[in-house]
């Protein structure tokens, strides 16, 4: 039996894909509009998506669909409950880009603590040439050594970042859940963590429990001089409140690789300002060549395993 496999947003993964072992028909669509989803998945047993949304109403109209292979770790674009009701297996790819994302988070942390963006702006404006001394000291510079890093999320990416930070002499703690009744070893309570961290890096999935976890109240409780790093999901943070905290304190800086809407076709508060203490990159922390090659192989491995009757990396 030949299995029809349809990749709805192939352009989101610019890496070569190995062919599945079993007999198959593979159809690629660089991008798919929501209105075209059902027609393109007609007769498909396997849907491959990265960020394309598969909601309950769409899934209910695809009786042949048996597997959703997500070429990402996060699956918030797929209605998991609907898949369970309909008997559709959902698999994701895991641990493909821990080095890539952790390095990007660390890059943002270093750049903000040493005010790289502000110094580059000054250099482009010719301010060093106008200096009365040999160096230009126009923005504060902070060493990472001796600083406290708070990591929200203890998966491979958060653990990888923690390892890098310790190598630079940072004191690293994990952030305990907001409503935890006890604090685990190596963790700080939610309130203590926010109040004492010199840097907070987010590495959590976006779900009902984490959506908006950092809002105006949480930003106000952060230690003056703290920097906030988010390479996970944009919806974890209230972006308008973040801009206010960057302008008026207490935050010293923010480095974001993710936004609440991607691409931000309707605008975003973080793109409406030009601040020397804000760095925004276009969701590329995951996208090293090595990470994408690993992802492509794991994606096809997941499909092969499901076709062989031994699904792996199952979410639902």
Residues with catalytic function: 233, 262, 283
Give, in order, the Cα–Cα distances in Å from 149 to each of 233, 243, 299: 19, 21, 33
Q: Is 302 exposed, middle or buried (0-12, 13-18, 19+ CB in 10 A)?
A: buried
Q: How far is CA 245 from the centre of its chain?
A: 21
Is the distance from CB of 232 to CB of 204 less than 8 angstroms? Answer: yes
Here the tokens at position 18 are: 């190995």
Nearest to 256 by CA among 58, 166, 245: 245
Is the distance from CB of 10 to CB of 30 less than 8 angstroms? Answer: yes
Query: In angstroms, rounded to a whole number, what is the distance separating the alpha carbons of residues 212 and 177?
Result: 14
Query: In angstroms, rounded to a whole number, what is the distance separating the alpha carbons of residues 44 and 63?
Result: 9
Backbone angles phi, psi at 26, to 5 degrees: -110, 125
Runs of H (alpha helix) within 27-150: 37-41, 56-59, 80-86, 98-113, 116-124
Give, in order, the Cα–Cα distances in Å from 266 to each of 238, 243, 272: 16, 17, 11
Here the tokens at position 304 are: 């092969």
**Total residue count of the chain as it appears in this document:** 316
Is the distance from CB of 100 to CB of 88 less than 8 angstroms? Answer: no
């Amino acid at each position: 039996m030949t299995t029809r496999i349809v990749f709805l947003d192939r352009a989101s993964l610019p890496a070569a894909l190995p062919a599945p072992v079993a007999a198959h028909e593979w159809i690629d669509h660089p991008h798919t509009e929501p209105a075209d989803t059902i027609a393109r998945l007609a007769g498909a047993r396997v849907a491959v998506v990265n960020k394309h949304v598969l909601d309950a109403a769409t899934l209910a109209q695809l009786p042949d669909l048996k597997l959703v292979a997500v070429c990402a770790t996060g699956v918030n674009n797929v209605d998991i409950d609907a898949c369970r009701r309909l008997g559709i297996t959902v698999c994701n790819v895991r641990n493909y880009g821990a080095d890539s994302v952790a390095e990007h988070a660390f890059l943002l942390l270093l750049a903000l603590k040493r005010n790289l963006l502000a110094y580059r702006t000054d250099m482009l404006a010719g301010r060093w040439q106008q200096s009365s001394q040999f160096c230009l000291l126009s923005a504060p510079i902070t060493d990472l050594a001796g600083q406290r890093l708070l990591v929200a999320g203890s998966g491979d990416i958060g653990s990888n970042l923690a390892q890098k930070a310790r190598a630079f002499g940072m004191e690293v703690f994990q952030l305990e859940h907001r409503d935890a009744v006890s604090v685990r070893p190596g963790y700080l309570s939610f309130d203590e963590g926010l109040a004492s961290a010199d840097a907070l890096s987010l590495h959590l999935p976006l779900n009902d429990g984490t959506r908006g976890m950092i809002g105006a109240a949480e930003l106000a409780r952060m230690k003056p001089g703290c920097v906030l790093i988010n390479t996970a999901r944009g919806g974890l943070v209230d972006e308008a409140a973040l801009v206010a905290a960057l302008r008026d304190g207490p935050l010293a800086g923010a480095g974001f690789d993710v936004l609440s809407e991607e691409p931000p076709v309707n605008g975003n508060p973080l793109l409406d300002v030009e601040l020397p203490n804000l760095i925004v990159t276009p969701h590329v922390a995951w996208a090293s060549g090595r990470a994408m090659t690993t992802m492509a192989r794991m994606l096809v491995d997941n499909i092969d395993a499901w076709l062989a009757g031994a699904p792996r990396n199952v979410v639902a």
